[in-house]
């Protein structure tokens, strides 16, 4: 029987709420077995960009990462946000190590090709190095990945954190029984976006199709769900979406997604 591994992704709404982040990091630290944390940080990056007089550029809900923005994003993701999280985890006796995809050549990507939109230095993942990550896990370390990858030729790339989490889960599924958790501000995938109590507890590929047709799953939830099924098709055991409280084994209010 293979060892279990939890990959947990948190977004900016959790990171920027100090109280929520503290609760989350305690729950994450208390998770049994090997674990990996993946974090975004787009809200803080936009805040710092604005303070520096650089207007954040977005198109179709996605960030345009020009050379100037990339410098700030690298500082915020790989420095400020990542190291603050790592330091807080140490306070909970979780021996964390902060990483980007360039560290240890753990995540390689390529610059997204220009189509109708030029996203600049945005990266699409090519592959994950599970052996290096596993070496860290076996050494008793907990990797904390920010949303940066590299192209193997010296270029850092800004990469969607949800995508990084799913690609790490797929890569690690070669060696572990992996479960992927997406933590955000809602308690799960909702039947009614205006009713936080309408959590859909179980979704599979067939029910997902119906929920899409009925326009219950739409807009910003669509790319997250696509990452979920991409991970499941890559041999990830299961994917869970919900509030940070879902990491507490006493909680059963969240969405579990399977094939």
Could you report the per-residue pLDDT of 176-223, keeping only the tens digit for each?
A: 999 999 998 899 999 998 999 999 999 999 999 999 999 999 888 888
* Residue spans of alpha helices (H) in 96-204: 130-138, 161-172
Give this prediction's pTM: 0.95
Cβ contacts of residue 201 below 8 Å, gap of 6+?
188, 252, 253, 254, 255, 256
Asked if the model's pLDDT at residue 174 lies above 80, the reply is yes
Could you report the per-residue pLDDT of 109-163, keeping only the tens digit for each?
A: 999 999 888 999 999 999 999 999 999 999 999 999 999 999 999 999 999 999 9
Order of all β-strands in the sheet with 148-150 = 123-128, 107-111, 148-150, 156-158
Phi, psi of 68 (to 5 degrees): -70, -45
Residue 60: which pLDDT band, with cuts at 50, 70 and 90? low
State both tokens at 26.
Answer: 């305690």
The length of the chain is: 259
Domains of the chain (ranges, CATH numbers): 4-257 (3.40.1160.10)
Q: So what's the pLDDT on residue 42? A: 85
């Amino acid at each position: 029987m293979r060892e279990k591994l939890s990959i947990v992704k948190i977004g900016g709404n959790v990171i920027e709420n100090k109280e929520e982040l503290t609760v989350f990091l305690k729950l994450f630290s208390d998770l049994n077995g090997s674990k990996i944390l993946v974090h975004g940080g787009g809200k803080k990056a936009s805040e710092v960009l604005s303070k520096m007089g650089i207007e954040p550029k977005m198109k179709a809900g996605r960030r345009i990462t020009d050379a100037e923005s990339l410098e700030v994003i690298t500082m915020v993701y790989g420095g400020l946000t990542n190291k603050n999280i790592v330091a807080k985890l140490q306070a909970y006796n979780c021996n964390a190590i902060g990483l980007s995809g360039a560290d240890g050549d753990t995540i390689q990507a390529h610059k997204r090709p220009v189509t109708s939109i030029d996203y600049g230095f945005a990266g699409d993942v090519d592959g994950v190095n599970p052996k290096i990550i596993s070496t860290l896990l076996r050494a008793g370390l907990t990797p904390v990945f920010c949303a940066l990858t590299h192209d193997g030729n010296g270029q850092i790339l800004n990469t969607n954190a949800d995508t990084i989490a799913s690609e790490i889960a797929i890569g690690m599924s070669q060696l572990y029984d992996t479960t992927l958790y997406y933590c955000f501000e809602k308690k799960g995938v909702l039947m009614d976006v205006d009713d936080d109590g309408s959590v859909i507890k179980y979704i599979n590929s067939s029910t997902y199709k119906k929920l899409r047709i009925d326009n219950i799953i739409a807009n910003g939830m669509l790319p997250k769900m696509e990452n979920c099924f991409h991970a499941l098709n890559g041999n990830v055991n299961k994917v869970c979406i919900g509030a940070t409280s879902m990491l507490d084994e006493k909680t059963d209010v969240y969405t579990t997604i399977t094939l």
